[in-house]
Amino acid sequence: TLRLCPPAPLALPHCALRHTSISGIPVPVGSILVPNLLAAHRDPDTWDHPEDFLPERFLAPGAPSRALLPFGCGARSCPGEGLARAELFVFLGWILREFRLEPPAAGEGAPGLGGSGGTVLRPPPFRLRLLPCLPPA
């Protein structure tokens, strides 16, 4: 989900320290570049079936895991990445241990992966039923 819906679709701005080029496009010194993580995570040159949620893709040898940058990379990566990943793991693990997730009513599907852009991606409104799991007998 972090590939399809990164927490922030745009990374922090970078300034070109020397004249260079990106994919043949000249970038003069002093240019401000804002990496588009959302577009990079859906690049068909990097990802097979870029619009599909396929977590098993990262288990295959040669998986493009280095192209997964939901928190940026390098000196300008998100300083809260470790905390965010730990919170996601603990919170999601607790939810999945305690509840069974189901659509709100018969015939209603799962929420889509779309959203509205901005500083952070906001998912569209959706409904979900959380049914308590029974304790082991």
Kind and range of the H or E element at 102?
Answer: strand 99-102
Rounded CA gap, 26 and 19, in Å? 8
- Residue 84: count other Cβ atoms within 10 Å of its Cβ: 14
78 carries a ligand binding annotation: yes
DSSP 122: B
> How far apart, in whole angstroms, are the C-alpha atoms of residue 96 and residue 101?
8
How far apart CA 8 and CA 117 sit, in angstroms, is 9
Bind-site residues:
78
Binding positions for heme: 78
